[in-house]
Amino acid sequence: MKKMLIAAAVALLFASCGGSTPPPANDPVANPPVQELEVVITYQDKDLGIPIPAWVRTSELDLQNSPDYKDFYVFKFMEEGQDLRGTQLAAEKLQAAPAVAAQINQRVQAKFVGAEVGDRNLMEAYMENVVKTLADAQIAGLRTQNFWTKVRVTSPDGQVKDVYRVRTLATIPRQTLDTLIKRALDGTERERPLTEGQRAARARVRQAIEEGF
């Protein structure tokens, strides 16, 4: 009797295993997407034995949180092309100040959204004025540096291409940008009398920006 029960249990186990439903083909957990494979072929200063700077392979957020950049706001840009000189020219044509100003505005707008002020009508004009003020402002202390790499990219379907990438790192002293944003916030708040709801909403935005930009 015991042998029969064991045999039945084993048969049930195999049946349950064999009858399990396979995960769907588009299940990102069971079938993770195949990523592109990238290999650095050569890079700037390789002939001098100088390694690739850490900032080239580090995200903006990680750079921002690193001790080396604790006193700066960090912005990164990248140009990609088939020809090194052409890609370098594209990077050189990048006007750092307007490009950085655009990213600053995006971050400020994200803070407005993240502040969860409730009534968007209370904040839209305020946000537009702050963004315009920042766009028109002169950013002092902006510093940039470029670095190029040549990368061999293999796509999931096996296609291979070599591309040049020129990355630009832009930094602004934290105190400089904090002061600029504070002036933009203060300037728009003095334009007209505010209701209690507007004051509360703007206070939340200011707190969100001060907690981390």
| Structure token pair of residue 164 | 């040049």
What pLDDT does residue 1 have? 47
- pLDDT score for 68: 93
Rounded to two decimals, the pTM is 0.69
- The SS3 call for residue 77 is strand
Exposure string (b/e) for 145-174, b if CB count within 10 Å is 16 or more? eebbbbbeeeeeeeeeeebbbbbbbbbbbb
How is the chain split into domains, by residue range? 34-210
Q: Which fold has domain 34-210?
A: Thiol Ester Dehydrase; Chain A (3.10.129)
Question: What pLDDT was estimated at residue 189?
Answer: 59
pLDDT in tens, the chain (213 residues): 444 444 444 344 434 444 445 555 555 455 555 567 889 999 999 999 999 999 999 999 899 899 999 999 899 999 999 999 999 999 988 777 778 878 877 877 777 666 655 555 656 666 777 777 776 667 778 899 999 999 999 999 889 999 999 999 999 998 888 888 777 777 665 656 666 766 777 777 777 666 666
What pLDDT does residue 77 have?
Answer: 92
Give the whole-angstrom CA distance, residue 141 versus residue 198.
33
